[in-house]
Chain A
Amino acid sequence: EAEVAQSPRYKITEKSQAVAFWCDPISGHATLYWYRQILGQGPELLVQFQDESVVDDSQLPKDRFSAERLKGVDSTLKIQPAELGDSAMYLCASSLGRREAVNTEAFFGQGTRLTVV
C-alpha cells in the first residue's frame, strides 16, 4: 500500500543548530502539506505545495523556517536556527490535489518528532 514516507522519525538537536526533515509523498499526489503539531494540540499548517509551487505559507515563520519541493515530488523542511519552542511533531501529508478530484483526502506520514535542547 502506498504511503507517505518521512525521515528521520526522531531528531534531537541543540538550540541554534540547523535541522532538516524530508518527506516523500504518495506517487502522483500533487498537493503536499507540512504541519506542526505541538503536544496536546491540533496540527497547524506551515506550508502547502501544489506541485512545486507554494500555495500557502502564511503560518511559516520565514525568518527561520524554509521549505522546498524543487521537482514537485519530495520535499524538505528546514529550521535554522532551531529554538526550544520548535519542539513538536512535524507531519507531512499529501493529497491528489487535482481540481477535478472530489475525494481529495490527505494521507499522513508517521511524522518526525523534534526535540530541541
Chain B
Amino acid sequence: KAGVTQTPRYLIKTRGQQVTLSCSPISGHRSVSWYQQTPGQGLQFLFEYFSETQRNKGNFPGRFSGRQFSNSRSEMNVSTLELGDSALYLCASSLRQGAYNEQFFGPGTRLTVL
C-alpha cells in the first residue's frame, strides 16, 4: 500500500509570491491534516479536511488556505509569501476522524522563501 505522498519535495519562492503544495493520502483515507515545522517551533497544526470540508483550523493567518478534492487529495496554498513562511510542510492522513486514529505522515515539502 503506497504511503502519503507530497509534491513537490522542495520549492524556492520569493517574497510576495504564492505557492501551492499537494498531498495524496493513503488510498481509502478520508482525513488529511497539514502541519508546519519551523526551527525551534515544533510541528504546528494548520488545518484538517474531511470529506472535502475543512473541519479544524489552527492559528494561522488567512494567507494559508487549503482544499480537498473528492478523491481525498488535498492542496495547501500560501499567498503573499513572507520570509517566515520558510518551513517544512507535512501532511498526514488517517482513515477517519477521531482522537485515537493513527495519522500517517508524508515526507514533507521544504519551502524556502527568499
Q: Is chain B found bound to chain A in the same assembly?
A: no
Query: B residues within 8 Å of A by Cβ?
Result: none
Query: A residues within 8 Å of B by Cβ?
Result: none
